[in-house]
Amino acid sequence: MSNKVNQISSLYKEKNLDGILITSPANISYLTNYLSRDSWLLLSKKGNYYLTDSRYTAEANKYLKPVFLVKQINGTGNECLKKLSRQLKLKNLGFEGRHLTYAQYHRLSQSLGKTVNLVHTHNLVEDLRQVKSADEIEKIRFATKITVNALNFIRDFIQPGKSEIEIAGELERFIRYNGGMGSAFNIIVASGPNSAFAHHITSSRIIGKNETVLIDVGAEFQGYKSDLTRVFFSGKIPFLAQRVYAIVLKAQKEAIRRIKPGVSTAKIDQAARQIIAKNGLAKAFGHNLGHGLGLEVHESPSISSASASVLKKNMVFTIEPGIYLPGKFGIRIEDVILVTQKGGEILSGSLNK
């Protein structure tokens, strides 16, 4: 049996559960090494099942045996699960409260009836996913490489007269022509005053002269994501933007310098935040310093002062300090970092900043 499945099995047994129902597509993909669609995973003491409908059973059988038994859903997933729960004599079954809607939970609970006790579990698979395998790191590395190339490619496009959405279109096209499945999330192209809004939605705004153009983009490769931000200028760099850029860059460097196994994420966050605060701009940096990434663009660990996480070797996350001056502009610099034995490797290190 796969090591990952073994680890989750130990965890649900510790909680006196007979099994666990995994409904998060990312968690299913992780445990099966298989890009999951329209499926559920039932891990139990008496066998591990992959439940899917007739469209996918042939392919699933090919890839998932013998670790998982593929069970074809003919009626509803709930009916299929009811039969299985009787067959496996499940009494206490864990489920992922973050990955079932209330309505789904309600119907499942009614279908299973009183013989099965559904138990809410919290982040069992998500916690395991924080530390990446060599294979996962290679995929993130490649997704990051595509994104680095896309940002290098787009430099010459950033000219007065182009619109934000056109730039996003060129990036998306580049990613698909260069080995990516597509962008990992809605590409942010934020020009001029729009860049001061950390969550700007790419618009049809036309770029003017000597403006900041903030681009936040990632590629997806075999299910794995990257996430990078760079700020470009359509002409000369205004003096204030130069100053702010230097502060953000210094904050990022100070944070990255402290990355190594055993250090708390709060300390990493603090290192960047102090640099920005020293320059009197604490309030202009309103979001977390970074987030884990892998099968999802945002996953654990969160790199924030509120988090109690401690870095481990082979965690992968972003470091992305930003300074946003409403009505003026915003600067954010974001790289993807791998925690190594002794420090942090910037996977996007070849990209200018």
Give the C-alpha separation, 233 to 140, whole Å.
28
Residue 46 CA to residue 93 CA, distance in Å, equals 13
Smallest distance, Å, CB 179 to a copy of itself? 8
CB 51 within 8 A of CB 80: yes
The least CB distance from residue 312 to a copy of itself, in Å, is: 25
Residue whose CB is less far from a copy of itself, 186 or 340: 186
Residue 188 vs 331, nearer CB to a copy of itself: 188
Max alpha carbon distance in the chain (Å)? 71
Whole-number minimum distance, CB 124 to a copy of itself, in Å? 13
Q: Are 199 and 187 in contact (CB under 8 A)?
A: no
Distance CA 61, CA 343 (A): 41
Amino acid at 233: F
Q: Which is nearer to a copy of itself, 121 or 309 (by Cβ)? A: 121
* Binding residues vs a copy of itself (CB under 8 A): 35, 37, 54-55, 95, 97-106, 120, 122, 165-166, 168-170, 172-177, 179, 181-182, 186, 197-199, 201-202, 204, 286
Nearest distance in Å: CB 70, a copy of itself? 17
**Minimum distance between the CB of residue 65 and a copy of itself, rounded to whole angstroms?**
21
Q: Pick between residue 150 and residue 241 the one whose CB is nearest to a copy of itself.
A: 150
| Shortest distance in whole angstroms from residue 72 CB to a copy of itself | 14
User: Of 29 and 256, which has the nearer Cβ to a copy of itself?
Assistant: 29
Q: In the complex, what is the shortest distance from the CB of residue 57 to a copy of itself, in angstroms, rounded to a whole number? A: 13
Q: At residue 345, what is the residue type?
A: E
DSSP letter for 330, please. Answer: E
Q: Which is nearer to a copy of itself, 91 or 177 (CB)?
A: 177
Min dist CB 21 to a copy of itself, Å, is 12
For the beta sheet containing 182-183, the strands, ordered from the edge strand earlier in sequence to the opposite edge, are 182-183, 219-221, 224-225
- Given a contact cutoff of 8 angstroms between Cβ atoms, the answer to whether 332 and 214 are in contact is yes
Supply φ then ψ for residue 189, to 5 degrees.
-120, 115
In this structure, are residues 137 and 145 in contact, taking their beta carbons and an 8 Å threshold?
Answer: no
**Closest to a copy of itself by CB, 53 or 135:** 53
> Nearest Cα to 242, choosing from 323, 155, 342?
323
For the chain, give the number of residues.
Answer: 353
The token pair at 45 is 């003491």
Residue of 3, 47, 39 lying closest to 23 (CA atoms): 39
Task: Give whichever of 105 and 310 is closer to a copy of itself, judged by the CB atom.
Answer: 105
Q: Of 167 and 338, which has the nearer Cβ to a copy of itself? A: 167
What's the min distance (Å) between Cβ of 279 and a copy of itself? 22
Half-sphere exposure of 220 (CA within 13 A, CB side): 14
